[in-house]
Amino acid sequence: MRIISLLPSTTEIVAALGKKDELVGRSHECNYPDGIDHLPSCTEPKFNPDGSSYEIDQRVKALLQEGLSVYRLDEEQLKALQPDVILTQDHCEVCAASFNEVKKAVQSTLGANVEVVSVSPTDLSSWVQSIRTIAQAIDAEGAANELTGRMKSEMQEIQQRTIELTPPKVLSIEWMEPLMTAGNWIPELVQVAGGIPVGAETGNHSPEISWNTVQQLNPDIITIIPCGYSIDETLSEISALTSRNGWGQLRAVKNKQVFIADGDHYFNRPGPRLVDSARILAQIIHPSLFREEEHPEWINLAKHQFRQTISSLG
């Protein structure tokens, strides 16, 4: 079978189901697991992806306001790869090539024999179902039963360890300018990890939030997980938050409970590594139970800034 995946999460799912060798094409954003980047890319952004979070937001909104899709689909590449199955989504306009664009491209260049499979998880239940949907399309249902069973067990184990503990209020930030909190599956992950999610609701898109509302929520813990950003990329723009009036008076800031995690790899894509995302959150929220050592997938902002200060003095 020849599979093209147009979304990082579906690429990870295909690999986790034991079908990595059947992938023949990917999106330009697919960067995991190792060895994926040698596959030909079938998409590219229609906007300049470099710049601040504010600049990127403005470019994306301009395209959407004109009724344009955010990504360009390489139809010639699709035709050359001759896939049997193309995996995409229709949940988020800025996450992948437009579902309608993919369907039109298939109809015009590939014909009716190519199956286009779209998954649109919005919470943990539909996340599991999306894995089963993909597995059915690529003949991997047995592997899906094993994978989803293992993931559910690991999630339940994390949740069980925190069930008797007092849950702190956790605010998860998905974009820094404009300020947005993390919706969809993130509030559920916070609950699994033993926290109370604030500022967004499970199953709903990530909403914009006013700084005044953040101050009113005054969370115990803040996690900063911008969509598509690595830790270093987030650090390069962290002043968009830390320079806001009243930042230093937030409870989480005063108690040094502000954390940056790798949003690109662990939180923004609903693939198999959401289990790792829940574990990262558990390490942050309940360190006495889960944190054995610091991991490269997250940092404490206060400790990082202290290390940077000491380094500059040296």
Domain ranges (residues) in the chain: 3-120, 164-313
Residue 292: pLDDT band by 50, 70, 90 thresholds? low
CATH, domain 164-313, list 3.40.50.1980, 3.20.20.70, 2.60.15.10, 3.90.800.10:
3.40.50.1980
pLDDT reported for residue 21: 96
pLDDT reported for residue 306: 66
* Identity of residue 8: P
Specify the pTM. 0.90
Of 72 and 289, more confident: 289
The pLDDT tens digits for 119-137 are 989 999 999 999 999 999 9
DSSP SS3 for 139? coil
pLDDT reported for residue 103: 77
pLDDT reported for residue 64: 58
The pLDDT tens digits for 191-246 are 999 999 999 999 998 999 999 999 999 999 999 999 989 999 999 999 999 999 99
Mean pLDDT over 44-54 rounds to 73
Q: Which of 108-117, 176-185, 263-272, 304-313 has the lowest mean pLDDT?
A: 304-313
In whole angstroms, give the CA distance from residue 105 to residue 165: 52
pLDDT reported for residue 101: 75
Q: Closest Cα partner for 221 from 195, 191, 248? A: 195
pLDDT reported for residue 310: 47
Say yes or no to pLDDT of 313 above 50: no
Nearest 5°: phi and psi at 214?
-60, -45
Average pLDDT, the chain: 88
Q: Do domains 3-120 and 164-313 have the same CATH topology?
A: yes
Say yes or no to pLDDT of 304 above 90: no
Mean pLDDT over 16-22 rounds to 97
Q: Which residues pair with 88 in a beta bridge?
A: 118
CATH class of 3-120: alpha beta
Mean pLDDT over 20-27 rounds to 96
pLDDT reported for residue 291: 73
pLDDT reported for residue 60: 66
Say yes or no to pLDDT of 91 above 60: no
Instruction: Count other C-beta atoms under 10 Å from residue 65's C-beta.
Output: 8
Give the dihedral of Cα atoms 165, 168, 174, 179; nearest 10 deg.
Answer: 170
Mean pLDDT over 86-104 rounds to 70
Of 44 and 292, more confident: 44
Mean pLDDT over 155-179 rounds to 94
Residue carrying structure tokens 């969509």: 227
